[in-house]
Structure 1
Amino acid sequence: MKIITETPRLIIREFTLEDAPAVLHFNTPEQVNRYTGDAGVCNTLSDAENIIGNIWLVEYQQYGFGRWAMVLKDTNTVIGFCGFKNETRINAVDIGYRLHPDYWGKGLTTEANQACIDYAKQHMDLDIVYADVANANSASINVATKLGMTYHSQYQHGEFTFNRYEISLKTV
């Protein structure tokens, strides 16, 4: 397993198939997927294994990055994902995050994704990164703005209005 970076409380690393129970656990609560557009995609251990094996592991090989596991240092527990995705529907790189509700409101998502941005600035060839956040999801909007992302545009997708945020990773 490849460790990407660390924070005071977290290890950010690539997922492995052994993480499937944790992926199922952090995707199961209804409120986790309320605004993601993929509610119901991860309901079984087999679903979690497919996400890891057929999406994340493939993206690591294809792009050198993908969604990464957020692991609590104290307990070695995978509590969610963070990091980047080559988002083909927008032809750009997206930063995303998902976290089990037991860990909401503790600053872990901001901590993890700030570490991802810092890592990308030093080790990845990315110019601009986007985050699409449902307008109704104020907690995720707060994360995006705490990361230094700025409002770019708004669009409608299905039942939700999304705000697109952006950040430049290139230093002048």
Structure 2
Amino acid sequence: MKVITETPRLIIREFTLADAPAVLHFNTPEQVNRYTGDAGVCNTLSDAENIIRDIWLVEYKQYGFGRWAVVVKDTNTVIGFCGFKNETRINAVDIGYRLHPDYWGQGLATEANQACIDYAKKHMDLDIVYADVVDANSGSINVVTKLGMVYHSQYQEGEFTVNRYVISLKTGSYGDNA
């Protein structure tokens, strides 16, 4: 298992198939997927294994990155994911996260994703990174703005109004080059 980076409270690392029970656990609560469009995608251990094997492990090989496991150092517990995805539907790189609700409101999403941005600036050839957040999801809007991302545009996806945010990892801000 490859460790990507660490923070004072977290280890950010690649997922392994052994993480399937944790993936199921952090995806199960209804409120976790309220704004993701992924409700019902991960309901069994087999679903979790498939996500790890068929998506994340494939993306690590294909792109050198994907969603990474967020692990609490003190307990060695996988509590969610963070990091980058080569989002083919927008032909760009997206940053995202998902944490079990027991860990909400502690600054962990911001801490994990800031660590990913810092890592990418030093070790990855990424420039523009996007984040799509449902406009009703004020918690995630707070996270992406704390990361220095700025509002870019808005679109409708099914029942959701989605705000797109952007940051340039080369300049630390967003200019006219995206």
TM-score, structure 2 length as denominator? Answer: 0.96
- Counterpart code for 1:58: V
Q: Distance between the aligned counterparts of 2:57 and 2:129, measured in 1?
A: 21
Question: Which residue of the partner structure matches residue 176 of structure 2?
Answer: none
Question: Which residue of the partner structure matches residue 175 of structure 2?
Answer: none
Aligned length: 172
* 5+ long unaligned stretches in structure 2: 173-178
Question: Which residue of the partner structure matches residue 132 of structure 1?
Answer: 132
- For residues 135-154 of structure 1, what are the structure 2 equivalents within 5 Å? 135-154=135-154
Question: Which residue of the partner structure matches residue 84 of structure 1?
Answer: 84
Q: Shift in Å at residue 76 of structure 1?
A: 0.1
Partner secondary structure for residue 97 of structure 1 = strand
Q: Does 1:121 align with 2:121?
A: yes
* 5+ long unaligned stretches in structure 1: none
Partner secondary structure for residue 96 of structure 1 = strand
Question: Which residue of the partner structure matches residue 170 of structure 2?
Answer: 170
Question: Which residue of the partner structure matches residue 7 of structure 1?
Answer: 7
Q: Shift in Å at residue 171 of structure 1?
A: 3.4
Q: Shift in Å at residue 42 of structure 1?
A: 0.2
- Counterpart code for 1:112: A
TM-score, structure 1 length as denominator? Answer: 0.99
- For residues 11-50 of structure 1, what are the structure 2 equivalents within 5 Å? 11-50=11-50
Runs of 4+ in 1 over 6 A off after TM superposition: none
Q: Shift in Å at residue 89 of structure 1?
A: 0.4
- Counterpart code for 2:41: V
Identity over aligned residues, as a percent? 89
Question: Which residue of the partner structure matches residue 64 of structure 1?
Answer: 64
Task: Please provide the CA RMSD for this pair.
Answer: 0.7
Q: Distance between the aligned counterparts of 2:122 and 2:58, measured in 1?
A: 23
Q: Distance between the aligned counterparts of 1:80 and 1:5, measured in 2?
A: 15
